[in-house]
Structure 1
Amino acid sequence: MYRLYRFKDIIRIPPERFGEDLKKVALELLRAEYEGVLDKELGLILTVTDVDINPEGYVIPGDGATYHEAEFTLLAFVPVRHEVVEGVVDNVTKFGLLVNIGPVDGLVHRSQIGDDRFMYDPATGAMVGANTKLKIKKGDMVRAKIVQVSYTKEFRIGLTMRQPYLGKIKSAEEIEK
């Protein structure tokens, strides 16, 4: 799920940037500070979309920069447990599928692909169901449910496809057959 947050902050404009467009400089400085930040409450901050900056700043003695009040919008990705997502299989390994669900990849362990027993086939680079012979390979579209979100040093998302209406999404050609 994507969210927009509106924030207020004080931005330090360094003296070497004084001749430039204030709004453009503020947007660059805010993006450098906030983009890619992972926060448990806000999620993964993707970008700063806009900024409204007060053109009148103030100076702190001993510092040649100006400080301006600014209001800006952050775009963040916040995965929610039990949310159903669609994505493209980015990588297939012997332990499961890495599914691109937007700005991050989620992991579907091979035990969570379906009710069948799925094994990795190194010859085709796909996961193959033992009974159904269903093949899931890199580039396939899948529908999954978020079951775990971890905010450790790395942002990890666990997915499952073991419920009705989840799993590989058939293409138009497959449906016609």
Structure 2
Amino acid sequence: MFVLSEFKDVVRTPPAVFDKKLKVSITEHLNSKLANKVVPKVGLCITLFDIQHLEDSYIFPGDGGAHTKVEFRFVVFRPFIDEIIIGKIRCCTKDGVHITLGFFDDILIPPSNLQHPSRFDETEQV
């Protein structure tokens, strides 16, 4: 369900945060960039786990920010096929059943994937 995924990226640190330690500003940047985002073919990124490698920073002409190559690992929610996950029903609509896992609310089970026989009652919304 949860895995560590390795990433590589070039992080730009603006001059306004040069007073912070480099690792702290890079951690803040990576969390704001990837946390709570779905990366295709990877999964839902939860939080930065660790920074494995920082290369030297470079400042390019015309840009006051420091550019640093970073290798890091992120905690990623990536369920495997046929994995059983326990969640709570958030609501039912004619489009299907909306499920929440607590940290992730955007799960929709379409009517075609529900057990047969099943039907939706408009008056009771179930």
Question: What TM-score, normalized by structure 1, do the two folds share?
Answer: 0.57
**Structure 1, unpaired ranges of 5+:** 128-177
The match for 2:68 is 68
Rounded to whole Å, the distance in 2 between the matches of 1:111 and 1:3 is: 29
Q: Which has the larger radius of gyration?
A: 1
* Superposed displacement of residue 3, structure 1: 2.0
* Superposed displacement of residue 4, structure 1: 1.2
The match for 1:122 is 123
Moved over 6 A (4+): none
**Larger relative contact order (CA 8 Å, sep ≥ 6):** 2
Rounded to whole Å, the distance in 2 between the matches of 1:59 and 1:20 is: 17
The match for 1:17 is 17
Q: Give percent identity, aligned residues only.
A: 27
Higher strand share: 1
* Superposed displacement of residue 41, structure 1: 1.5
* Superposed displacement of residue 110, structure 1: 4.5
1:4-35: CA deviation from partner (whole Å, max 9, x where unpaired) = 11223322211111111221111111122223
| 1:65 to 1:100, Cα distance in 2 relative to 1, 3 A | same
1:136-167: CA deviation from partner (whole Å, max 9, x where unpaired) = xxxxxxxxxxxxxxxxxxxxxxxxxxxxxxxx
After superposition, residues 3-14 of structure 1 pair within 5 angstroms as 3-14=3-14
Amino acid at match of 2:107: G
* Superposed displacement of residue 88, structure 1: 0.4
Number of positions where the alignment pairs a residue of Structure 1 with one of Structure 2: 125
CA RMSD, Structure 1 to Structure 2 (Å): 2.7
